[in-house]
């Protein structure tokens, strides 16, 4: 196994899509500041599938939220496509997420009063794309995800796995450069987990860059790189050759994360 720690640099080079340098983030707990992320460096190449794993409280979700602009770091910087983004305003981050960064959450975050079609189309329409183009893209995504015929359903009509597939379609509607997934299988049964993991793997095979947070070694083994966090720091950063087909991938990740 080869260590792949992020190198410090003034700007991304080559295929670097995402660069995080010395990220620090604290939360207030009972009136005291507790560091959730403690100086993390991370470089993600275009087309990589990176799983971020570690025990509860290791800082996994906080890191993902920092990378997606949902939280602002106390210090450090984030570059996306060579552009510094950690200092952007909320409005500019929102525009960036609509166009370049898709986010999938554990509990779906679908709008309960909207139909499946409306949930998926919403980011495209908010981005100012023509309605005809958005509808065409939505139809293609739902067909690929096995949700044709569910367009007029509401989230409450769907299973957990179906809701997560709708959330994935919504995140992909604008063909983002980067897909961030925060425990996307954490609330699913085994069948739903297989469905969503298969979809993420297909996205990766088409060249989608993915950073996925998970506590599940089986889910992490589908990635081609596993970054293990402990106490807000990178404890290990390992790249696997062709992990979806390599025998023993799950046991290797268990050893890494355990």
Domain parsing of the chain, residue ranges:
2-100+176-257, 110-175
Give the predicted TM-score (pTM) of the model: 0.85
Per-residue pLDDT band for 2 (boundaries 50, 70, 90) equals: very low
Which tens digit of pLDDT belongs to each residue from 142-201? 998 889 999 999 999 999 989 999 999 999 999 999 999 999 988 888 888 888 888 888
What's the mean pLDDT when you consider all of the chain? 87
2-100+176-257 under CATH 3.40.50.300, yes or no: yes
Q: Say yes or no to pLDDT of 254 above 60.
A: no
Tens digit of each residue's pLDDT (9 = 90 or more) over 87-106: 999 999 999 998 899 999 88
Q: Which two tokens stand for residue 70?
A: 């949902």
Flag whether pLDDT at 141 surpasses 60. yes
Angle in degrees, 0-180, between the axes of helices 116-126 and 131-144, rounded to the nearest 10? 130
The helices-and-strands tally (H runs, E runs) of the chain is 8, 11
Tell me which residue of 24, 81, 70, 3 sits closest to 213, measured CA to CA.
70
| Rounded distance between C-alpha atoms, residue 210 and residue 49, angstroms | 5
């Amino acid at each position: 196994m080869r260590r792949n720690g992020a190198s410090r640099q003034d700007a991304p080079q080559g295929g670097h899509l995402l660069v995080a340098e010395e990220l620090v983030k604290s939360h207030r707990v009972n009136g005291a500041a507790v560091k959730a992320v403690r100086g993390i460096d991370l470089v993600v190449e275009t087309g990589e599938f990176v799983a971020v794993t570690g025990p509860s409280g290791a800082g996994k979700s906080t890191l993902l939220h920092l990378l997606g602009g949902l939280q602002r770091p106390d210090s450090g910087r984030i570059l996306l496509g060579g552009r510094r983004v950690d200092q952007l305003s909320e409005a500019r981050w929102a525009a960036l997420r609509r166009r370049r960064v898709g986010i999938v959450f554990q509990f779906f975050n679908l709008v309960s009063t909207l139909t499946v079609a409306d949930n998926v189309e919403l980011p495209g329409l908010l981005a100012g794309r023509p309605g005809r183009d958005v509808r065409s893209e939505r139809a293609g995504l739902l067909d690929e995800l096995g949700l044709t015929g569910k367009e007029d359903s509401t989230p409450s009509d769907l299973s957990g796995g179906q809701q997560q597939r709708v959330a994935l379609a919504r995140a992909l509607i604008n063909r983002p450069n980067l897909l961030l997934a925060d425990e996307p299988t954490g609330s699913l049964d085994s069948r739903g987990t297989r469905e969503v993991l298969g979809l993420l793997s297909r996205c990766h095979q088409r060249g989608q860059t993915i950073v996925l947070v998970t506590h599940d070694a089986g889910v992490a083994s589908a990635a081609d790189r596993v970054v293990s966090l402990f106490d807000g720091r990178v404890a290990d950063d390992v790249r696997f050759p062709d992990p979806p087909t390599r025998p023993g991938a799950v046991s290797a990740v268990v050893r890494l994360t355990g």
